[in-house]
Structure 1
C-alpha cells in the first residue's frame, strides 16, 4: 500500500520518501483512513486517486511544519541589505517565501524590512505553500511558544499583540503578506509573469532527489530577477552553485546571487567543492579528478556529489527536528564514509553546540577551520562559544579574523 502512495506523493509534490522515512507516510495514511472511516487500503487508494480533496488532505498530513520566527537570523539581515542595495524609486521590492509553512518566515521578512527602514509601500511579500493546513494557520497568525525560539525576541513586543492561544501578528505586518496555495512542480500553479528580487526557498530541496533538485532550481532561477537573491538552507548550500548561482558572501546566511551566464555544471564540479561552506566559493575546474573512496576504488564525481549532498541533507533534517544526539551520530557516520571535510566538522560542531557539549564543539569547529581557514560560519560560531566560556581574548581574535575576511571580500 505504501509504495503506490509514495510514488503518488513524489509525482504530485516531489517528496522523496527516503528524506522523511516511510514511517511518516504510513502513519499519515493511517490517520487519513481513520478520518475517512475506511479500514480497507484498496478502498482508500481508490478514494485517494479519485479525489483531489483527499489527496490534499494526505499532503497536509505528510507535510509537518518545523519553523519559527527569525530562524537563521543572518538570512533576514542579508535579505534586508540586498533589498536596500537594490531599492528602486516607485517600484516595490518583491519577495517570495516558498514554502512559507505556517507563516513564521514571511512575517519575519516583513518585520525585518520594517526594521530596515522600508515603508509599507516599498515592498510586498508573496507566500506559497503546498499545505492548505499550513496556510490556514498562517492566515490566522496566532502563535504559541514554539514559534518564539532563541535569544533574539525583541521583535515580539514591537510586532505582536496578546491573543487567545498565544500572540497575534499585528495588522501592519499582516497586510504585507499575501498567502496562496501552490506547488513548484505543478504546471497548473501559475506565478504569472512575476519576477522576484528575493526568493526564500529554505529547507525544501532536501526533500527532493537530485533530479527534482535540479528541476526545482531551474524553476526558482526563472522566478528571480537578474540581480535577484536566493536564500536556501544550510544543507542545501552546495546546490545553487551547480546552477550558476554565486555566493553572496554573507556569513551564515546561505545566500546566493543569480547569474545568467553560467551553465549547469553538475558533471564538472570537483567533489571537494560539494562540502565547501557557501561563503568560501572556489573557482570551478574543468578537469575532473575523481576521488578515492573508502575501498580505494575511484568513484565518479557525480555519484559522490549525490551521496555527500544526500548525507548532509539528512544531518540537517535530523538537527532541524531537534534530534541533536542523532544528528551527531549520523554526522560521525558521514565522516567515516566520506572522510574529513570542513563542512562535516562544522555540522558536527553545531550539533554538539546545541546539545551543550562545548568542548567537543570547540574541537570540531577548530577542525573545520584547519581544513578551511576562511570558513565564516565556523569562525562566527566558535567566537560565540569561546565568549560564552569566558575566553574573550580568543573570541576577539576570531572576530577580528572574520572582519578581515569580510573586508577583503568587500562585504
Structure 2
C-alpha cells in the first residue's frame, strides 16, 4: 500500500515515472534504503524520508542508476565537431561558447564534449560547459574524474591515451579537459533551475526525457527551449526525437546525431496551467534536490534518476499501435534507421512503453552500429517483460560478442527454460 506513495514522491521530486523503469526497481531502491536505515517497515521509512531531505536524496541516488560512457553515440560528437569547427572559423566569434549537459551523470558526457571541442582546436577558456545532475553521488564521481573500464567502450580509445593517465586502479582525466567543465547538483524540473533565457549554444539532454510522463516531458522541454539560444542546437536521445519534433524543434538532418534546432514555424506546447511552474505540492517543507534525472537504465548504474518512458504503459496494444511498430520495422528493413527510430518514439509517446517497442529500438540501434545502446533497449524490454524471448535471444548474442561470457551464459539458461513456451 505504501509503495505508490513512494512512486508519487519520486515523481514530484525528480519527475520519474515509475512505469518507465519498472515498479520493481523503485521497490528495490526503497527496500534497500529501508535496510540501510535499520528500519523494519515501510511506514517507518516513509515517516523518515518525509522528515529528512538528506534521506530523500539517498533514495534518489538509489533509484538513479547511471548507464553512461565516454563518447556514447559517436555520431552526436561528430556533429558537435562539425559545428565547433564552423564556429571556430567565424571571424566574429569572440564570446565564450556555452554548453549544457543535463543530466550529466558521472561526467562522461560533459567531458566528452570538452575533448571534442579541444580536438577541434578550441582552447581552454573559449568554451564553458555547465553540467548538472540530480544525484549528489554522480556529481561527486564526476568531479573526481577517475574512471574504470566500463566508461571506455568500443574500439577507438585513442582519446584515452591523449587525455587520461593510468593511476591504478583507474584512469584519471587530465586537468586540461577538466578546467572548463563545471559540475553542480541541480534539478531540471525545479522552478529555480538556471533562471534566464537564451544562455546556451548547445544543450545535451539525452536519454532522460523518456523516463518522464507527458506532463513532465512538456515542462522539461519548455525549460530546454528557454535555455537554448535561437541559433542553438539541442541533442536528445534516439528515442526522444519525436518529443523534440512535437515541441517546436526541427531536425538538423545530421545522420544519427539526433540534433535539433528551434523551428521558426512552430512553438513549444503551452503550459497546461500555472501549476506546472510551481514546486511540487506536499514538498514545501524540504528542499527539492536539483537536476534532471540522469540517463538511467532500470537497474544498472548512476545516471537515471539522474536519468528516463514517455507515458505510462497501457495494458494492451491497440491495433493502431501495432501498425506503428510494423511501420517502424518496415522502415528499418529499408535501412531508414533514423525514420524507424522516430516512429518508435512517436509510438511510445502515444501508447506508452512496451517490451515490443524496446525490442524494436534495440534492433534499430544494433543495425545502426550502436550495440551498447541496443543492449540497454533489450534490457529494458526484459524489465517490462522478463519472458520476452526475442529480446533474450538478441541480448545473449550481443553479450557474447562483447566478451561478457558469464552474462551470456545466464541468459542462455533463461532461454532454454523459455524455449518450450516460445515454440508452443
Q: Are the equivalent residues in 2 in contact too, given 1:80–1:112 (CA < 8 A)?
A: yes
Instruction: Tell me by how many angstroms 1:169 deviates.
Output: 0.6
Q: Name the structure 2 match of 1:409.
A: none
Q: Distance in 1 between matches of 2:14 and 2:380?
A: 26
Instruction: Tell me by how many angstroms 1:89 deviates.
Output: 2.3
Q: Name the structure 1 match of 2:233.
A: 229
TM-score by length of 1: 0.69
Residue by residue over 1:92-148, the C-alpha shift from the partner in whole angstroms, topping out at 9 and shown as x without a partner, is 111100000000000000001111111112111000001000001101100000000
The change in CA–CA distance for 1:45 and 1:256 in structure 2 (over 3 A counts) is same
Instruction: Tell me by how many angstroms 1:237 deviates.
Output: 1.4
Q: Distance in 2 between matches of 1:304 and 1:111?
A: 34
Unaligned runs of 5+ in 2: 271-322, 341-345, 364-371, 402-424
The change in CA–CA distance for 1:330 and 1:249 in structure 2 (over 3 A counts) is farther
Q: Are the equivalent residues in 1 in contact too, given 2:362–2:378 (CA < 8 A)?
A: no
Q: Distance in 2 between matches of 1:250 and 1:152?
A: 21
Residue by residue over 1:44-64, the C-alpha shift from the partner in whole angstroms, topping out at 9 and shown as x without a partner, is 111111111111110001000
Match of residue 144, structure 2, among 140, 143, 157: 140
Q: Name the structure 1 match of 2:206.
A: 202
Instruction: Tell me by how many angstroms 1:257 deviates.
Output: 1.1
Q: Distance in 1 between matches of 2:104 and 2:166?
A: 23
The change in CA–CA distance for 1:305 and 1:7 in structure 2 (over 3 A counts) is closer
Q: Distance in 2 between matches of 1:191 and 1:144?
A: 35
Residue by residue over 1:268-318, the C-alpha shift from the partner in whole angstroms, topping out at 9 and shown as x without a partner, is xxx97995879569xxxxxxxxxxxxxxxxxxxx99851167668744599
The change in CA–CA distance for 1:98 and 1:148 in structure 2 (over 3 A counts) is same
Q: Distance in 2 between matches of 1:53 and 1:113?
A: 37
- Give SS of 2:242's match: coil
Instruction: Tell me by how many angstroms 1:263 deviates.
Output: 3.1
- Give SS of 2:81's match: helix
Q: Name the structure 1 match of 2:101.
A: 97
Q: Name the structure 2 match of 1:50.
A: 51
Q: Which region of structure 1 is more displaced relative to structure 2, 130-139 or 347-356?
A: 347-356
Does structure 1 residue 307 correspond to structure 2 residue 351? yes
- Give SS of 1:256's match: strand
- Give SS of 1:134's match: helix
The change in CA–CA distance for 1:186 and 1:6 in structure 2 (over 3 A counts) is same
- Give SS of 1:60's match: helix
Q: Superposed, which structure 2 residues align to 1:200-279 within 5 Å?
A: 200-264=204-268
Q: Distance in 1 between matches of 2:78 and 2:137?
A: 29
TM-score by length of 2: 0.67
The change in CA–CA distance for 1:82 and 1:239 in structure 2 (over 3 A counts) is same
The change in CA–CA distance for 1:351 and 1:307 in structure 2 (over 3 A counts) is farther
The change in CA–CA distance for 1:309 and 1:262 in structure 2 (over 3 A counts) is farther
Q: Name the structure 2 match of 1:109.
A: 113
Q: Are the equivalent residues in 2 in contact too, given 1:195–1:223 (CA < 8 A)?
A: yes
Q: Name the structure 1 match of 2:79.
A: 78
Q: Distance in 1 between matches of 2:268 and 2:226?
A: 14
- Give SS of 1:184's match: coil
Q: Superposed, which structure 2 residues align to 1:328-367 within 5 Å?
A: 354=398
The change in CA–CA distance for 1:210 and 1:189 in structure 2 (over 3 A counts) is same
Match of residue 128, structure 1, among 125, 132, 136: 132
Instruction: Tell me by how many angstroms 1:236 deviates.
Output: 1.0
Residue by residue over 1:148-196, the C-alpha shift from the partner in whole angstroms, topping out at 9 and shown as x without a partner, is 0011111000000111321011000011200001111111333445610
Q: Distance in 1 between matches of 2:200 and 2:220?
A: 16
Q: Are the equivalent residues in 1 in contact too, given 2:103–2:132 (CA < 8 A)?
A: yes
Q: Name the structure 1 match of 2:367.
A: none
The change in CA–CA distance for 1:171 and 1:24 in structure 2 (over 3 A counts) is same
Q: Name the structure 1 match of 2:406.
A: none
The change in CA–CA distance for 1:239 and 1:215 in structure 2 (over 3 A counts) is same
CA RMSD of aligned residues (A): 3.6
Q: Superposed, which structure 2 residues align to 1:58-77 within 5 Å?
A: 58-77=59-78
